[in-house]
Copies of this chain bind each other. A is one copy, B any other.
C-alpha cells in the first residue's frame, strides 16, 4: 500500500513512532554485519530551510540535463526541482553511509526498504530522496572521512493522497530458469 509522498503536514511526529521506525531499520542485514549507516535527524526549521535551498539549487542544475522521457514522467507526477518536502516534513532523516564497508550501498538500501515499511506501519509517509549531488553534505553535517550522505528521507503525516503509480504484473516480471521463459507459475 505504501506510496511515495511529496507533501507533508508540518505536524510533529512522536518520538515513539520515530524510534520504532529507526529500531526496525537498524535490525536490517548488512555486508559482514558492518551496519554502515548513521541517522542524522533534522528537526530544526532553519536547518531544513537551508537543506531545501541547497538541494533545490542542485536539482535545478540536474534538470537541465535530464532525458525527455524522464522530464515527461516527472511532469506527469507533478515533480520538478522544487523540494518543499525538505522544509515541510517535521523530520528529515539524513542517512550517512560508510563507503568503505563491503556492499555498503546494497546494505544501506535494504535498510531503507525496512525503514519505509516500518513508517508505513505507523501511518507515516516517506519519500526516498537522493540528491543528485551530495558533496555539500560533508561540511554541512560534519561527516568524518569515509562517510557520505546517501539519502534524505522526509517523514511525517501526508498532506496529499497521490494515486498509486501502478506496477508490472508477475506475468511480466517472472521468468523460469532463463530470461524470457514463462510458465504457469504466474497465471
Contact = CB atoms under 8 A, between A and B. Distances in A.
Interface string A53-84: 00000000000000000100110000000000
B110 A179 contact: no
A38 B173 contact: yes
Interface in A4-53: 4, 15, 18-19, 22-23, 26-29, 32-33, 35, 37-44, 47
Interface residues on chain A, size class: 35 or more
A122 interface: no
B2 A29 contact: yes
A185 B15 contact: yes
Contact of A173 (B26, B167, B170, B174): B26
Interface of A: 2-4, 15, 18-19, 22-23, 26-29, 32-33, 35, 37-44, 47, 70, 73-74, 96, 102-103, 105-106, 108-114, 116-117, 128, 130, 141-144, 147, 151, 165-170, 173-180, 185-186
